[in-house]
Structure 1
Amino acid sequence: MKKNLKTLTSIVLSALLLASCSKSADAPVAPEKKDNADKVLTYIQSLGFSQNNIVDNGDAYIVDEDIRFPKDMEVPVGKPTAEQRWTGSKLTAANALNIRIKVDPSMTSMMPEINSAINQWNTIGGAIALHITIVTGTSYDILIKDTNLGAGICGQGTFPSGGKAGNLIQINKSYIAGNSFAQRQRTITHEIGHNISIMHTNQTGGLLIMGTPPSDPLSIMNAGQCGSGATVLSNFDKVAAQWLY
């Protein structure tokens, strides 16, 4: 009986030891990815956008129909000063000098329009440190691709974060196909502006950039002008870019 009790005790102790070893050997549970959506939404609202102008589009909030704020974006710390008309997040100096755009195969038929749009930003002149190139490799900053965004929306740009340009431009290629060449490249130029932090000139939200007026009918960054808006950067569009970069 004593022998059986001793054997049973030994078995129990061994089982407990094995259980203890097994528990300590288990890999730690990876923490869940923190949901940043609430912070992004709060930030958008802090820029002066009403809830009516913000649409939840799954992985991003869409503002004024064509500006994407990814829900996993890095939200800027602090609030921009009231003299500015931008969104408080811009590219670092190094990144602004080397913005690499990759053209998805779905957009290669509009390469002339893309090149024309890039040329507008690259030839602003003055004391500006901003340069955009097209790349074909796997390393890039912005992907431009064709996306069916529905009737009435020509394209969508993405708000920059973490010192980098917004990583996506979507062009509703079939919708703008009937527009003139100048208007098609205007859409692309406009969306690139959003990806480097310039907001709509003719709508509330965002903050005024020093040296620019509250409104500019010649601005390529005016909203709601797909197919009919200005086709070249206005003087104040250039001032805005020069102020930022």
Structure 2
Amino acid sequence: MKKLKFLALCAMAAGVVTSCQKDEITNDEQPVSLELSKDLQDKIWAAGVNPGNATIENVTLLNGIEEQYLVSGDIMMKLAEIEKGSYDLGVAEDGLTKQYRTNNLVSSSNRTIDILGFTGSGNALTSNMQTGLQWAVNNYNRISTTLNFRLTFGTNFQAADMVVYNNNGSGAGGQAEFPEGGRPGKFIQILNGTGTFGGSNVNNVNEHVIGHEIGHALGFRHTDYARRRCDNSNEGTAGSIGAINIPGTPTANQWGQSGLDSGSLMISCFDGSEDGEFSNFDIVALEFLY
């Protein structure tokens, strides 16, 4: 996977092990600098993503198709769609921090979601990842929404609406795509180190990470996107661009954390102590949207 570093004035700290985005993925090629046009940087901001320390990566997915993605933390966005201005991730109403969504949601006709835990050679989920995926899906199916996840384990990813697989990257965490065209983000990559992260709490950690990435694939932003708990960086609102507040969830000024739902599944960071469950306000947000 070739990685092209952005040259941008805006800075967002790269994830560390405690980030549920990702660690640096091991790769044999040295990063190549790519100077971005002002137009492309503006489109990245308009998509709700801070271009600082984001990367352009050539990602070969399970279907064998290689595409260029903008990767920022645990979010993957197709570069071609950004260049066309296709992403419209929303405008915040008041600049406050609560649960947030994008404008890219799953349409009412696509809410029975066939989700596959991939077990094929080379990208198979570990046993702990499989347990975490099962627990995460149970959590989504347990609450009162119009979403219905049908989980199977196997290799027929072509037929699935959402595919969770081990991308063999170093560190712990994952990456996901936002919904597109009314369908959920299809490919969810889990870093190999997630399978052993958290010691005796490893299954809960995998439940948390995978549940979190499924949240992105349904259209959720990070609860603390305006000031990430782990590094205090702003993920990319460009003032008011980038997220829509979900009614009924708690607020906090974006430069303070007094009202932050710190137990939210969609918090940007994790440290291995997570229980993998939704907070009460996560449930409020899911039931409001779906």
Is the structural similarity TM-score above 0.5?
Answer: yes
The separation in 2 between residues aligned to 1:42 and 1:229, in whole angstroms, is 36
Aligned residues of 1:76 and 1:89 also touching (Cα < 8 A): no
Unaligned runs of 5+ in 1: 1-37
Between structure 1 and structure 2, the one with the greater Rg is 1
Aligned to 2:269: 224
More helix, by proportion: 1
Q: State which of 102, 108, 112 in structure 2 corresponds to 1:87.
A: 102
Aligned residues of 1:169 and 1:192 also touching (Cα < 8 A): yes
Matched, 1:57 2:29: no
RMSD of aligned Cα (Å):
2.6
The separation in 2 between residues aligned to 1:227 and 1:53, in whole angstroms, is 25
More strand, by proportion: 2
C-alpha distance 175-85 of structure 1, shift in aligned 2 (>3 A)? closer
Q: State which of 177, 180, 183 in structure 2 corresponds to 1:158.
A: 177
Aligned to 1:131: 148
Aligned to 1:113: 132
The separation in 2 between residues aligned to 1:199 and 1:234, in whole angstroms, is 15
**Aligned residue pair count:** 203
Letter of the aligned partner of 1:70 in structure 2?
Answer: K
- Normalised to the residue count of structure 2, the TM-score between the two structures is 0.62
Q: State which of 187, 212, 219 in structure 1 corresponds to 2:209.
A: 187
C-alpha distance 202-162 of structure 1, shift in aligned 2 (>3 A)? same
The separation in 2 between residues aligned to 1:183 and 1:167, in whole angstroms, is 22
Matches within 5 A, 1:23-102: 42=42, 44-52=44-52, 54-58=54-58, 59-63=68-72, 65-73=73-81, 80-83=90-93, 85-96=100-111, 98-102=112-116
The separation in 2 between residues aligned to 1:78 and 1:66, in whole angstroms, is 18
Matches within 5 A, 1:132-147: 132-135=149-152, 136=154, 137=156, 138-147=158-167
C-alpha distance 171-39 of structure 1, shift in aligned 2 (>3 A)? farther
Using CA pairs below 8 Å that are at least 6 residues apart, which structure has the higher relative contact order?
2
The Cα of 1:230 is off from its aligned counterpart by 4.9
- Normalised to the residue count of structure 1, the TM-score between the two structures is 0.73
Matched, 1:196 2:211: no
